[in-house]
C-alpha cells in the first residue's frame, strides 16, 4: 500500500476505542485459542484483559488520510525498559498483505534492537520467526 494512502494516529474517540475492542475480541475469538471457549466466558473475561492492556500500552491506528474515521487496522504495544511487548496487531481483511501490520509496529516501536514479545497467538505463526518475535502469554 502506498505510504500516502495511510495515516497513523492514536485512539481519539469512543468510536475508535469501540472499533479496537470489537476487532480484537471478534478476531481473537476466531483463533484456535478462542474457538473452544463459550462466548459468554470468552467475551466477558477477555474484554477485561483487553481493557487492562489498552490502559497500559500505546495503541496506534492506521487510517484513511482522507477519512480518518475509516480505520484499516491497529497495533497495541507496551514498552518496558528492556523489551517491547506486542499485545495485538489487527488489519482488516481487505487491507492485509500490504505491509500495514509491519508499518504499524515499526511506527509504534522503531527500536528494532529490542526483544519483542507477543502475548496473543498470531493467526499465522510463521510471523513469529519472520519478525524474530517471542510468544509469551504470561507477561500480561
- Specify the pLDDT at position 113: 45
127 or 34, higher pLDDT:
34
Instruction: Map grid coordinates 488520510 to a residue.
Output: 65
DSSP states of 66-102: TEEEEEEEEEEEEE-SSEEEEEEEEE-GGGTTSSHHH
Q: Which residues, 6 or more positions from 20, have their beta carbon under 8 angstroms from its beta carbon? A: 11, 50, 54, 59, 61, 74, 76, 90
Q: How many CB atoms lie within 10 A of CB 114?
A: 14
Over residues 116-137, mean pLDDT: 77
Instruction: Map grid coordinates 478476531 to a residue.
Output: 27
Q: How many CB atoms lie within 10 A of CB 70?
A: 11
Q: How confident is the model at residue 72 (pLDDT cuts 50, 70, 90)?
A: very high
CATH topology classification for 3-139? Aminopeptidase (3.40.630)
pLDDT digits (tens, 9 = 90+) for 77-106: 988 777 788 899 999 999 999 999 889 988
β-bridge mates for residue 32, sequence order = none
Amino acid at each position: 500500500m502506498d505510504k500516502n494512502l495511510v495515516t497513523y494516529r492514536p485512539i481519539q474517540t469512543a468510536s475508535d476505542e469501540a472499533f479496537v475492542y470489537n476487532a480484537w475480541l471478534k478476531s481473537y475469538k476466531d483463533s484456535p485459542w478462542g474457538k473452544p471457549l463459550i462466548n459468554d466466558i470468552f467475551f466477558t473475561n477477555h474484554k477485561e484483559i483487553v481493557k487492562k492492556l489498552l490502559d497500559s500500552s500505546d495503541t496506534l491506528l492506521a487510517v484513511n488520510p482522507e477519512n480518518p474515521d475509516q480505520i484499516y487496522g491497529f497495533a497495541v504495544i507496551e514498552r518496558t525498559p528492556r523489551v517491547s511487548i506486542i499485545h495485538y496487531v489487527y488489519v482488516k481483511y481487505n487491507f492485509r498483505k500490504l505491509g500495514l501490520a509491519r508499518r504499524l509496529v515499526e511506527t509504534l516501536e522503531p527500536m528494532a534492537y529490542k526483544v519483542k514479545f507477543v502475548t496473543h497467538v498470531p493467526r499465522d505463526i510463521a510471523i513469529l520467526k519472520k519478525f524474530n518475535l517471542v510468544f509469551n502469554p504470561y507477561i500480561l
